Amino acid sequence: MEKELEKIEDQVRKSLADNLRKGFADRNFGDVLVVGGGISGIQAALDLGAAGFKVYLVEKAPSIGGHMAQLDKTFPTNDCSM
Amino acid sequence: MGRHPNIEVLTYTEVDSVEGEAGDFKVTLIKKPRYIIESKCTGCTTCVEYCPVKYPDQYNQEISDNKAVHVYFAQAIPLITYIDESCLYLKEKKCRICEAVCKNNAIDFNQKLEKVEVNVGAIILSSGLEPFDPKVKEEYRYGQFVNVVTSMDYERLLCATGPYQGEILRASDMKHPHKVAWLQCVGSRRVTPGENSYCSAVCCTYTQKQVILTKEHDAEAECTVFHNDIRSYGKDFERFYERAENLPGVRFFRSYVSIVKENPETQSVTIRYSTPDEGVKEEEFDMVVLSVGLNPPADVQGLANKFGIELNAHGFCKAIPSNPMETTRPGIFVSGAFQGPTDIPESVFTASAAGSQCGELLDYRRGELSKERIYPPERDVSQEEPRIGVFVCHCGANIGRIVGVPSTVEYALTLPNVVYAQEQLFSCATNSAQQISDLTKEKGLNRVVIAACSPRTLEPLFRDTLREAGINQYYLDMANIREHCSWVHAKEKEEATQKAKDIIRMSVARVCRLKPLQEFDLPVNKTALVVGGGIAGMTCALSIAKQGHEVYLVEKDADLGGTARRIHSTLDGMDVQAYLRDLVRKIYQHPLIHVYTDATIPEATGYVGNFVTKVKSDRGVTEIKHGAAVIAIGADEYKPTEYLYGKDDRVMTNLELEEQIAQGEERVMNAQSLVMIQCVGCRNEDRNYCARICCSNSVKNALKLKEINPRMDITILFRDMRTYGFSEDYYREASNKDVKFIRYEPQDKPQVEAVEEEGRRILRVTVTDYILGKKLAIDADLLSLAAAVIPSAGNKEMSLLFKVSLGPDDWFKEAHVKLRPVEFGTDGVYLCGIAHYPKHIPEAINQAYGAAGRVLTLLSHDTVTASGSVCEVDEDKCISCGACITVCTYGAIEFYDTPQGRKATVNPVLCKGDGLCNSVCPTAAISLKHFADEELLSQIDAAVGDF
Amino acid sequence: METVAPYKEIIDAIKASGGDAFKRCFQCGLCDVVCPWNRVRAFSMRKLIREATFGLTDIESEEMWRCTTCGRCPQQCPRDVQQIESGVSLRRIATEYGVFPASVKPIRTISGSLVGEGNPLNEERKKRADWADGLSVKAFTEGMEILYFPCCYLCYDPRLKKVARATANILNMAGVDFGILGAKENCCGESIRKTGDEDVFKRLAKENIKTFIDHGVKKILVSSPHCYHTFKNEYPEFMVNFEVVHISQYLFQLIHEGRLELNNEYGKKVTWHDPCYLGRHNGIYDEPREVLKRVPGLALIEMPESRVDSLCCGGGGGRIWMETPKGERFSDLRLEQAVGVGAEVLVTSCPYCITNFEDSRLNRENSEAIEIKDITEIIGEVI
């Protein structure tokens, strides 16, 4: 009985993995590639994402944010840049 | 960003190659090894603590150190670590301490470069910029004198997450600099080798920001800015400049300077500058900030080759003026600073603009690959006692430097029903929001107070955070301890801390009383209305129509074209009339665009997704139902009253001159001498803004005239030449073609008189030249005035019709000057063109596409979510007086018959939650949800109660 | 405040004389900031430029004669106003009209001497090779490795003759096959050109070029950076191109090739002064330093303003011939900088610099504190 349960669990796990892999394959099709994860790239990605497109956002640094993420505040409102 | 289901973020990744064509690109990406398994890393930073390698931190401009394994910066997305090449194991196969200490086994030194192929239909290049490196010129002493820093370095010094936690310190002695100098145009406006001939467009204003922030850090600081022109040409910049200039201890000097020496004992820096009347002076400063300009992105040629696009002479993306988002390769678009040196709002709306162009290209596949966001089910907490969590944000140093955040946290824990409280550096950072959501679940919180900034920008984010935690999003209150406290009480730290506690106490009281509210979906009408048929309106309309939406284009004049009908060329050589003809033709040919000329709008009602607007034209009154509206009604030209304008026909405005040049008017063609006066009707008390385009326009007209008649003497009288960006090249070209430029001061304006000399009728213009120390009398045949661009007379009416607001100078006011530059605070209404602020044609085109891009984010959906915070009527109390109906500007309330008689009822779709009706109801029968009496009164009680 | 009108005819005249680049100025003031004059007295290049832009130049004023053509401002000018060339255009007009302020009057005699004797020092042409008496220095003939062109000052000036002799000795020691042209050569003409006398320059240059060609000269060794500059950058205007090498470069080459060995100790603290026409104008900064670094025992120290920032001695642009009052001499400042860094010897390689520095040294309270040397004089001591 227990073994059968384990088998079922195994199968479930396998099919989950299959689905994941499929997901991985799907993931290589998108609508727009945005190169650069600064303020402009982020805005472009957000807009396109909201307008019904699948977007890849590629950033060469380890984080998105670009130069704006290095700024303390922005003028004239002195809002923080983050 | 990190939460968006349709966006996959690939960091530490570069594009390797691009094959294919528009609609079908195959892009090979190279994912660099982080040596961290992204799915396992929690960003706990235990590994960082144990890592033995210290090396200069790039994010902090190498002023402070970081570890070989670290998180890029505190609010990084994704918030996980990476290991860089300074790692001992990667270099020498030693150490591996991080592996041992990581509890999640997230370290993986076997990771290799990974190639990933993706297929996409279009590409947007937002490759940004690279700050100018002052090391290329020895004279700047950067890297040689320790207290010479760049503006990027200084930005980090100012910042709470910076090398000294927001303290401005000198690396030489860890002391606060008292006297700080900023040197403008470092790397910009110079033809010297290694520097850029163009103006970097942003440095003047970022310097003013740094001056203001420096004074906030230390009110006694002495700040000096050395410059040659202050270019405050952007919206609200002139006021910002004034604000900086009027601070005590702040000086602006017109002189480029030379960095002379370093004091061997104090490491202070001596600079030498020039004055017109007192010669050359020397002064010592504790710190010198080089206001570095903007370069194209690093290895831009490699980038161009990779993507198969062309660059302009300055190494930025080559673009045509009539479509600045288009690269030379179809299907690849450009946004942001890679178009040319540009500020944040432009970076934002050119992004939306490039998005709109992608939308035009890929409309046929919209929605095929996208997914909707899924939230966990909402927990019913109605039977629970309030369990409140309080999160107090430092906002970097914005709050933390003034308000004693730790003590407010302690205080919050003493308040009734508060079961948890903590401080956060930036509550809005992804990790902080995640933390709030996690803690809400973990501690069983059912109400959350975020003590941070105004709810205006970030309330949606925190509501979303509550939804993530399975809590109704209206169980949130934001205690505004920034705008209402730290910013206005910068000098009273103790009192500010006390006030922050008061504000938090009030929030806690309110949040106890809040009710869970449900939002609901409204249908979205897929049609757009564009008001204004100038270049901006037409461009926007066309882009929306090309993405499959019907557009109604309404123009008040008989013809389309707006101000552009009077403009014949741009500085970069665009034939405006040809472009305009082509655009008008496309508008009339597009089957989805309906044009109404000679039209007015007598009435506009409705709300996002469901507007109803009446248009009156020779076709009668048409009622248009539309989901979105774009305001692009343009602007007017100031009619001068000064300098003999209107009294002498030889005095004209820049636009009139341009028309006369285009018509080949003889008296213009044959003039021996022509003078132009800048800043007529603006940068003064009446209109305290810079009209942005006049300097470039005068240069444009001057160059045109010189082309026609090289012998003509042309003199331009200016206050600051504001030929920002690439236009600086044309300013220099004009000088090179012998156009004379004379600076005048506003308190000593040029004098104009009509005189006759030796039988020649002339206009004698007298102006002080501050270098000569003399007045120059210039005899002119014609005088052209750079008359300001002023807000359209129709702005007020339009603002009332569409319930949108105007700014202090009567320009339409965008939702957020930096981050939401093409939309209004009123949902579903968008903005572009010179109705927003004066701008050049290519900029207006950028912005028009930007507005179209934003409109599409609305019209692409079938529904839009409406707020739960609307009014409701307690029918038992309603006496059917109708006061609420009269006062409601949205027509949201009407009577209906009940067995108890006629009662008012609110249509929640129309209600905007402004609460006007609440205040007029004599029986308090109508109330606004989320701002109900008991909620507000509890807050007030908490404020005045004896705590 | 005085009201004036732009003077179109003057604007055109300045343009015609080569001052076209004035129009590019946008008054940033950087030229004034870097100008050495403002270390000793007020002088505004920016104002000079502004006046010229509107044709308001005062042709009789001393201001247009101040520029030593040190090259500091054109090197940094963001608008490429070419202050030297533009400034010379004003002097051309003054020369044309024969208007010279008192301090500039000697120029008349100088140009007379240049035309008559081929040198600015009013010395006899036939004595031009006398400096080499007693040394085995040959007359140049075709096929020789190099022509040594010593500069008028090295031929006639008692102090600078030593430099010429040291140079000849070094060349002989290294076995260089060289010769001189002696009385057949003229002043190179560099400095008279900077005073605006284009005619005399052309005359000197053309004669020199003819002599060089007639003698089959291919490569010229010079001691003066001014000769170097005009041979290398200005003679090509006459469609000729000679290989030109400055002695500091040549020393470096000889040492590098092993033709010169530096054997003796020179145990002194030495600082190198970059002559404007060697450094800023022609980018030669490293070779003389490399040569000095190879001298056994020599400690090379740098002055605060060195290389591209080198402080002018005050002798360029024809200023060597004009009277500069005490207290306004850049060379005094420079000498103090050298003493200030603890140098015992101020070494350079330009006849104008040496003349001015020797002058400043003699006027100094403690003239023993520092020696002025040409680089060849040091090398001469250690080989």
DSSP structural state of residue C234: I
> Cβ distance C295 to C55 under 8 Å?
no
The pLDDT tens digits along chain A (82 residues) read 445 545 555 554 444 444 444 444 455 899 999 999 999 999 999 999 999 999 999 999 998 888 888 887 776 666 655 4
* Residue B736, pLDDT above cutoff 80: yes
Per-residue pLDDT of chain C (383 residues; tens, 9 = 90+): 999 999 999 999 999 999 999 999 999 999 999 999 999 999 999 999 999 999 999 999 999 999 999 999 999 999 999 999 999 999 999 999 999 999 999 999 999 999 999 999 999 999 999 999 999 999 999 999 999 999 999 999 999 999 999 999 999 999 999 999 999 999 999 999 999 999 999 999 999 999 999 999 999 999 999 999 999 999 999 999 999 999 999 999 999 999 999 999 999 999 999 999 999 999 999 999 999 999 999 999 999 899 999 999 999 999 999 999 999 999 999 999 999 999 999 999 999 999 999 999 999 999 999 999 999 999 999 99
Distance CA C313, CA C225 (A): 13
| Sequence spans of domains, chain B | 33-112, 130-295, 388-519, 528-634+792-865, 638-788, 870-928
CATH architecture of the domain formed by B528-634+792-865 = 3-Layer(bba) Sandwich (3.50)
Q: Are B676 and B717 in contact (CB under 8 A)?
A: yes
| Two structure tokens written together for C340 | 């200030």
Contacts of A67 in chain B (CB under 8 A): 128-129, 131, 152
Q: A1 vs chain B: nearest CA distance in angstroms?
A: 33
Note whether B599 and B554 are within 8 A (CB): yes
User: CB within 8 A of B518, min separation 6: which ones?
Assistant: B868
Residue spans of beta strands (DSSP E) within chain C: 3-4, 138-139, 146-149, 178-180, 219-222, 243-246, 269-272, 299-301, 345-348, 371-374
Report the distance separating Cα C226 and Cα C187, nearest Å.
Answer: 10
- Fold: same for B130-295 and B870-928: no
Q: Rounded mean pLDDT of B807-834? A: 93
Q: Are B622 and B820 in contact (CB under 8 A)?
A: no
Share of chain B above pLDDT 90, in %: 82
Judged against a pLDDT cut of 70, whether residue B4 lies above it is answered with: yes
Q: Which pLDDT tens digit goes with each residue over B572-607?
A: 999 999 999 999 999 999 999 999 999 999 999 888
Q: Tell me the mean pLDDT in the region B244-253.
A: 97
**Average pLDDT over every residue of B550-557:** 98
Q: Do chains C and B touch (3 or more CB pairs under 8 A)?
A: yes
**Which of B12, B71, B857 is the closest to A47 by Cβ?**
B857
Nearest CA in chain B to C40: B280
Whether B contacts A, i.e. 3 or more CB pairs less than 8 A apart, is: yes
What pLDDT shows up at residue A13? 47
Pairing type for strands B520-523 and B528-531 reads unpaired
Q: Please classify residue B310 by burial: count the beta carbons closer than 10 Å to its beta carbon, then call 0-12 exposed, 13-18 middle and 19+ buried.
A: exposed
Residues of chain C whose C-beta is under 8 A from some C-beta in B? 1-6, 8, 23-30, 32-35, 38, 42, 44, 46-47, 50-51, 53-54, 56, 75-80, 304, 307-309
Residue C355's CB is within 10 A of a number of other CB atoms, namely: 19
Q: Do A47 and A80 fall into the same domain? A: yes
| Per-residue model confidence (pLDDT) at position B947 | 47
Name the closest residue on chain C to residue B736, using Cα atoms: C24
Residues C246, C251, C254: CA angle, nearest 5 degrees: 125
Domain count of the fold of chain A: 2
**Surface of A (10-49) touching B: CB under 8 A:** 27-49
Give the distance from CA B639 to its chain's centroid.
31
Same domain, A36 and A18: no
Restricting to A residues 47-76, those with a Cβ less than 8 Å away from any Cβ of B are 47-76
The DSSP symbol for B189 reads S
Query: How much is the pLDDT for B3?
Result: 66
Contact across the interface for C32 and B139, Cβ inside 8 Å: no
Strand B269-275 relative to strand B279-285, pairing:
antiparallel
Do residue A46 and residue A6 come from a single domain? no
Residue B402 DSSP symbol:
T
Asked if residue C88 lies in contact with residue C193, where contact means CB atoms within 8 angstroms, the answer is: yes
Residue owning tokens 């992608």: B358
Which helix (H) or strand (E) element contains residue B635? Answer: strand B635-637
- Give residue B728's identity as a one-letter amino acid code: E
A46 and A76 both lie in a single domain: yes
Rg from Cα positions in chain C: 21
Q: How many CB pairs under 8 A join A and B?
A: 265
pLDDT surpasses 90 at B59: no
Give A-chain residues touching B854 at CB under 8 angstroms: 47
pLDDT at position A24: 43
CA distance B147 to chain C (A): 17
Q: Can you tell me the ipTM of this complex?
A: 0.94
Indicate yes or no: CB of A75 within 8 angstroms of CB of B240.
yes
Touching A (3+ Cβ pairs <8 A), the chains are: B
% of chain B at pLDDT higher than 70 = 99
Set out the domains of chain C in order of their start, with CATH numbers. 8-103 (no CATH), 107-253 (no CATH), 262-382 (3.40.50)
pLDDT, residue B426, reads 83
Are chains C and A in contact at 3+ CB pairs closer than 8 Å?
no
pLDDT, position A75: 65
What is the rounded CA–CA span in Å between residue C327 and residue B306? 62
Same domain, A44 and A13: no
Lowest pLDDT segment from B390-399, B526-535, B665-674, B782-791: B390-399
Query: What pLDDT is attached to residue B10?
Result: 93
Q: Which of B126, B237, B362 sits opposite A40 (nearest CB)?
A: B126
Beta carbons of B199 and B341 less than 8 angstroms apart: yes
Report pLDDT digits (tens) over B901-946: 999 999 887 788 889 999 999 999 999 999 998 999 999 999 987 5
- Best C7, C54, C66, C72 member to test B by mutation, with max B CBs in 10 Å, is C54
Q: Is B778 on the interface with C (CB under 8 A)?
A: yes
Least confident of B371-380, B473-482, B631-640, C155-164: B371-380
- Cis peptide leading into B78, omega within 30 of 0? yes
**DSSP 3-state of B83:** strand
Q: Give DSSP secondary structure letters for B513-551.
A: H------EEEE----EEEE--BHHHHHHHHHHHTTT--E
Residues 6+ apart with CB under 8 A from C382: C262, C263, C264, C265, C266, C295, C296
Residues of B in contact with A54 (CB under 8 A): 6-8, 369-370
Q: What's the pLDDT score for residue A22?
A: 46
A45 and A65 fall within a common domain: yes
Nearest chain A Cα to B821, which residue? A43
| Best CATH choice for the domain B130-295 from the list 3.90.79.10, 1.20.1300.10, 3.40.47.10, 3.50.50.60 | 3.50.50.60
Please write the tens of the pLDDT for every residue from B666-722.
Answer: 999 999 999 999 999 999 999 999 999 999 999 999 999 999 999 999 999 999 999
Helices (H), A1-82: 2-26, 39-50
In angstroms, the CA B597 to CA B615 distance is 10
pLDDT of residue B371: 81
pTM, to two decimals: 0.89
Residue A79: the pLDDT is 62
Query: Given this model, what pLDDT does residue A17 score?
Result: 43
What average pLDDT does chain B have? 94
B311-341 burial by CB neighbour count: b if 16+ within 10 A, else e? beebbbbbbebbbbbbbebebbbbbbbbbbb
Give B258's contacts in chain C (Cβ within 8 Å).
Answer: 30, 33-34, 76
Does the structure show a pLDDT above 60 at B2?
Answer: no
- Per DSSP, which regions of C126-188 are E strands? 138-139, 146-149, 178-180
- B298-315 pLDDT, tens per residue? 999 999 999 999 999 999
Note whether C47 contacts B772, CB cutoff 8 Å.
yes
pLDDT at B166: 85
Per DSSP, B419 falls in state E
Owning domain of residue A81: 31-82
Query: Considering only the top CATH level, what class is B388-519?
Result: alpha beta
A22 and A35 part of one domain:
no
Per DSSP (E only), the strands in C36-154 are 138-139, 146-149
Output the CATH code of domain B638-788. Answer: 3.50.50.60
Q: In terms of domains, do A39 and A79 share one?
A: yes
Under CATH, what is the fold of the domain B870-928?
Alpha-Beta Plaits (3.30.70)
Chain B contact set for C44 (CB, 8 A): 274, 279, 771
Query: Which CATH fold would you assign to the domain B33-112?
Result: Alpha-Beta Plaits (3.30.70)
